[in-house]
Structure 1
Amino acid sequence: MSHLISRRNILRGAAAASASVAFYHGTSPRRASAADSPNEKLNIACIGVGGRGAANVSGVRSQNLVAMVDVDEQRASGSLQRFPNARRFTDFRKMFDEIGSSLDAVVISTPDHTHFHPAYTAMQLGLHVYLEKPLAHTVYETRTLCDLAREKKLATQLGAQRHAIPNMHRVVELIQSGAIGKVTEVHSWVGGERGMPPIPTGTPDVPATLDYDLWVGPAKYRPYHPTICPYGWRFWWEYGTGETGNWGCHILDIPYWALGLKTPVRVDAVGPDVDAERTPKSMHVTYRFAETNQGSPVDLHWYHGSPQDVIKKHGVDLKGANTIFVGDQGVLICGFSNRKLYPEEKFADFKAPEPFIPDSPGFYNEWISACKGGEAATCHFGYSGPMAETVLLGNVAYRAGGFDWDAESLQTVGNTAAQNLIQSVYRKGWEIG
């Protein structure tokens, strides 16, 4: 197979500006045939069908699932058994070569470091894309996919499925109706101490059911170890994005939506000493947003680890919470399934606004409908792309220090070390070179 494709330079002279992508050369872009009728089933290929991928496969099971692609036959076995008529592939590139012209859409649920290549290939073929969070492994990859989706007018959805939870709708309505006045700061967090995994010792054999070289794909090669593949990759910079990438697009979705956020102008982060290879067990990122629907700047704080000082400062307590909105007339604390206004005595007789955000028909159904010519899904890349970039910028600031962010040119102004983390260097055969 020939795998050569080129793309214009979107970094406008940045240090990591070169942008020809060497991995696929297929047929010309096409529009999805099922878009001609909302009653037709989409022909969908699912890439990464074990673990989280199995849930995504189930989410689109109402459609015609024509291909299952996975490098790990054992991990994928559940999905393969449930859909025995779907063609099986190990390499997504071979799948696109053989049946790409018959597809309408793809669902991609691979590890973070292998989001970009199949998604970009699919989009070049004019295929609609459902892609797991945090959308891609780097800011450059994220922006590239978002630009291509817009250019080709494709239906997209980021796997931030909690966006469809009704409680999140009610939180957004409270903030946007001015329940706590003008919001000046937000604190969001994920608990736990996952990160900094032990460095593997020994070199166990690669399981016969796993194509490990293909699993590594474009990333730096590291000998196989079961603590990294199939799941521990999340806590290694070469493959994952830590708990910030894992949870950021779910939790920061709440303030992003409520405050109409786009891109920050400043990013700073603090935490434990940086490890060159492994993600941390804790961190605190501060994003400054100059443009919001509040009419003034907002500081958004993200924590890996619960911010007990902030919780105590505002006298709030709500089990399962992950976000505090601080306004000039009160405080709102919320999670995915609960919410409460403070001071309690002030809001004792508060009447919530009439709901104005409609219920979702189902997170996967949103995307399926969009693929067939309906309204855009709620987490289409035009909305979720800037949020995913922001999440990834938090990791960049933690690893390389704070910076002013020029979103248009993807520049970490005055911070060369941070700039070097905006785009990855790929293994031979997978290059952006």
Structure 2
Amino acid sequence: MRHPAMNRRSALKLMAGGLAFPYISRGNAAPPSETLRHASCGASGMAWADIQSLTASPHVKLVAVADVDLNRTAEVKGRFPGVRVYQDYRELLDKEKALDSVNISTPDHMHAAITMRAMERGLNVYTQKPLAQTIFEARQLARVAREKGLVTQMGIQIHSHPVHKAVVAIIQGGAIGKVKEVHSWSGKKWGDTAPRPERVDQVPAGLDWDGWLGVAAARPFIRGWYHPGEWRKRLDFGTGTFGDMGCHILDPVFGSLGLTAPNEVLSTGGAPNQHSWGLDSVVRYTFPATPHTAEKPALTWYDGDRRPPAEVTALIGRRELSDQGSLYIGTEGVLYSPYIDDPVLLPADKFAGYKAPQPEGDDHYLQFVEACRGNGKTSAPFSYAGPLTEMVLLGCLSTRFPGKALAWDADALKVTNLPEANRFVRREYRQGYDAPGLARS
């Protein structure tokens, strides 16, 4: 079966269209109920896409949304008459006593605080990627989800796409032997080398700027610098290109190879300035071996204008390198995996007779809905998404220290050879926006 090339938006539309999911057994969730009473933290942008995809199930009723910018709630109010609209997620979680589930689809810096408060209430949660903005937050969210036995799913929707599953099946089937190294890249440019503008602008009517800042330190509003679309570039609010796309593109790498936490990470690309993430990252990890890898497997990430070196890209022959993707180099061959497109085994003559696996796709959103109803399980629960996010965020952290190889102790959540790096493993929380188990003691 041929899966045509598609961009992220079209892929999400495809998955929202209801790819069949073969629910066979019930997990440990609550018994099935006819209707999930659901709330959304976020009403527009990715939150609006998440709302539409979740409510594609006839078993979901959207009862409430919270968005700090009331100017961005018109679509959800028009589509869901009677939905209760809040400007503060804390008020929503306090007042809506009958909820079953919630999606958290906000800027990155608020993922952990809102998710933790929702889980402390016993709610099942669908949280957009990256799961958190710091490594410590990701670890804590996974811990609490496990302890409370909640249904969780991270919004890496491509995880459930058939091309993602095909990559995992090919690697784990041993087609290219033991994987020695992987090169992954994204052409996105969620960084900025310019200084922050030295001005203060009036906060637009309808926007709760203090609530938008949330856990971050107070600062003046600057039109066009943070909200609504530029926050991914800013150190205090986003995670740059790496955090944005790493959780997608490195997901099949992490899953297919069965990777654990890296031993070491080294950044040799662009570094952040005082306020914004850098451009043109190059980050190299080394990992402990797994059953699917050679000894000391390496993974190198590139973004912006950076790409793998010529001797690596030469492995795909005359093909044009995709804007995003991965290249797996094994002891018995190479797998070229353009992002959301058919994987290619090389050299072509060696694999001419190879019968590629043809996995079926799932609906990532409806997995979550049905797991909440007691049917089946999610494929990207926090037990998986937490360690994946930790790996990605460690790469983001390393860009702050270019040229310095960071030795990582995952059990202790500590860089062992550069103490000053450890202040970025967790964050300070502004009073009033902290959540249990997250604020720095």
User: Same fold per TM (> 0.5)?
Assistant: yes
What is the CA–CA distance in structure 2 between the aligned matches of 1:418 and 1:123, rounded to whole Å?
Answer: 29
Partner of 2:211: 214
| Partner of residue 56 from structure 1, selected from 47, 50, 53 | 50
Distance between the aligned counterparts of 2:182 and 2:242, measured in 1? 16
Task: Count matched residues.
Answer: 396
- Cα RMSD (Å): 1.9
Greater alpha carbon shift after TM alignment, 314-323 vs 376-385: 314-323
Question: Does the CA-based 8 Å contact 2:328-2:335 persist in structure 1?
Answer: yes
Aligned-residue sequence identity (percent) comes to 36
CA–CA distance in 2 between the matches of 1:92 and 1:41? Answer: 22
The CA deviation at 1:289 is 1.3
Give the match's secondary structure for 1:322: strand
State the distance in 2 between where 1:333 and 1:354 align. 15
Q: Structure 1 pair 164/318, CA: closer, same or farther in 2 (3 Å)? A: farther
Unaligned 5+ runs, structure 1: 1-33
Give the Å deviation of 1:193. Answer: 3.4
Q: Would the aligned equivalents of 2:193 and 2:272 in 1 still touch at CA under 8 Å? A: no
Matches for 1:27-426 after TM superposition, within 5 Å: 35-37=30-32, 39-61=33-55, 62=57, 63-99=60-96, 101-196=97-192, 198=194, 199-227=196-224, 228-294=226-292, 296-305=295-304, 306-310=306-310, 311-316=312-317, 317-320=319-322, 321-335=324-338, 336-347=340-351, 349-355=352-358, 357-360=359-362, 362-400=363-401, 401-426=404-429
| Conserved? CA contact 1:219–1:238, under 8 Å | yes
Question: Does the aligned pair in 2 maintain the 1:197–1:235 contact within 8 Å?
Answer: no
The 8 Å contact of residues 318 and 334 in structure 1, kept in 2 or not, is answered as no
Identify which of structures 1 and 2 has the higher relative contact order when contacts are C-alpha pairs closer than 8 Å and 6+ apart: 2
Shift of 1:252: 0.2
Moved more, 262-271 or 242-251: 262-271
Q: Displacement of 1:117 after TM fit? A: 1.2
Over 3 Å counting, the alpha-carbon distance change for 1:185 and 1:203 in structure 2 is: same
Tell me by how many angstroms 1:353 deviates: 4.5
Residues 130 and 181 from structure 1, CA distance in 2 versus in 1: closer, same or farther, beyond 3 angstroms? same
Label 1:339 to 1:358 Cα distance change in 2 as closer, same or farther (>3 A). Answer: closer
- Asked if 1 retains the 8 angstrom alpha-carbon contact of 2:104 and 2:127, the reply is yes
Equivalent residues of 1:68, 1:80 under 8 A apart: no
Contact 1:234/1:241 (8 A) holds in 2: yes
CA pair 392-45 structure 1, distance change in 2 beyond 3 A:
same
Q: Secondary structure of 1:302's match? A: strand
Do the aligned residues in 2 keep the contact of 1:44 with 1:106 (CA within 8 Å)? yes
Structure 1 consecutive aligned stretches of length 4 or more whose deviation exceeds 4 Å: none
Gap regions ≥5 residues in structure 2: 1-28
1:255-276 per-residue CA deviation (whole Å, 9 max, x = no partner) reads 1121111211211111134412
Secondary structure of the 1:102 match is coil
TM-score by length of 1: 0.87
Query: 2 CA distance for matches of 1:94 and 1:192?
Result: 36
Shift of 1:165: 1.2
- The alpha-carbon deviation at position 197 of structure 1 amounts to 5.7
Answer yes or no: is the 8 Å Cα contact 2:126–2:368 preserved in 1.
Answer: yes
TM-score normalised per structure 2:
0.86
Q: CA deviation at 1:201?
A: 4.1
State whether residues 271 and 277 of structure 2, in contact with CA within 8 Å, keep that contact through their aligned partners in structure 1. no
Provide Cα deviations, 1:285-344, integer angstroms capped at 9, x if missing partner.
111110423253311111113424254342443553510000111111012112211122
